Structure 1
């Protein structure tokens, strides 16, 4: 058995044992008192049955008051799957209703509680009193004490066991179900992202292979051409979301192919961007890193990654970081910088960015440069 599970069970037992000792001592004391008081076997069994009944009744009320309230979202987030399991809160709802009813009726009928309690004590005293006189003072006193005392003991037992033990078990079961659902969602998103990345990689490689030879030998002219392509990327417009994404992917691939063909380095792209921040140049840099990852690329990428606001560029930056981690080109010390960037992107993220952040966050958590 896993050590963590064993330690958890030990902690749970340590919490519940004092409650068991406390209630058991009172239960044992009641049994001894009943045996001493009873004049015959029937009276003793009557007392024992009343002790059990009062303890169970109080325990049930304590259980109702101790059931934790489950808080969960009633709706399905935008972009999420239509099918989504949620925790069954029927027991929690019933507990909430019954406790309110019990408290409400108790306050409204407060003046009727003493006569009702007296009737219960009389019924109990009749079974204890050998002569059958319900008004025997000693029998009534004993009945009052036992009924009230063991109802309170039962209530405390039910409440404490529910709060200290059952609530934790409920939480663990709900957490396990939530983690399973989250894992399934991440696996689905991972498969979609891998398909997109594969398509982007094939497109980029195809563009690089079919790229025309450099027509301008002047370095500045090449940089100006790349800047013009970055501006063209920023001007892409289309009412069709899918078409717009395909156009942006093609533009990003073209810029990466142009940079490779004309031997424009990543540092030169950064210098060009330093003169005038351009998210088109950032997507070109990210695509170039995806195509040809090298040591130091993370530092280059993070120089301006936190200034990015376009979702397509953010997505491409996240893909580039994932590629660098897959190639073991990220240092363990840089994980905090990546997490900081993920927190920044998470603020205004849509569903696709959030899915990508979840997967990259898990990749960062499991990453080791060795």
Structure 2
């Protein structure tokens, strides 16, 4: 009982800190215009690379997605650029799975079983998100979802202003604008850390996860499980990282994890939708909804139209990369070089 009360209090504290972080990011972002001009961040390819690299640095995609929305709400980037930055954040978030797999390998686990899960996560995410980005671009440019706009209720927005405006004004008087933005980023990471401590613990050693082997031969079941686990953990990095020990211990096979990853990549947007609401910028909600819908549509098409062909293509790429260390090194080099190139072009 006490543990549940503690988690509820942590969840409330996490929301409070999350809102403070968004307010600081939104205020501090206005001072970053010279930096964006210096870096020539003026296209969707630039923000795609920026989101990708930032997710590498913070080892999570959700904080970067929230940052992209604050930059948009401050008119620092366009809706298309924010959309691309969110896509980049999700591509970068898959890297944490590869990192955990490498650590697992160093601790004595099988190399193929550990590292290949990270490569599989990157391949699955890229093959869904990049076509979804093209679809989402068409949706935003043509205004097909322009009526899907939601902001925070007036009462909530007023309450946020009353509570947080004095805090923000105090910090504005104490810190330079650019430092305010990075302070907001640090507080945002703290908020997600508090959320992690408030959420239910999901252990790959639990009996529920050990029984999952009875279901893995049904792709649509694994798809739903991936959606559910990510909805609970609010982090695709966490829900995909769980797969590393599961695969290493033989509970599930690699090929059965693809639909799980596809489902996880949809519900990972729940916290980003919350950020869009709290920023009270209706167009921000449209951006996230467009991203979520595009990814869901492409995932469902792959799952129900030609899943076997999609799975075989992913498995072929995975086997080709993992066949020798040189190919794996080239793959790792590519996933670092590409986002840098996108940021600089």
Common fold, TM-score beyond 0.5? no
Pick the structure with more helix per residue: 2
TM-score normalised to structure 1 length: 0.24
- Which of structures 1 and 2 has the bigger CA Rg? 1
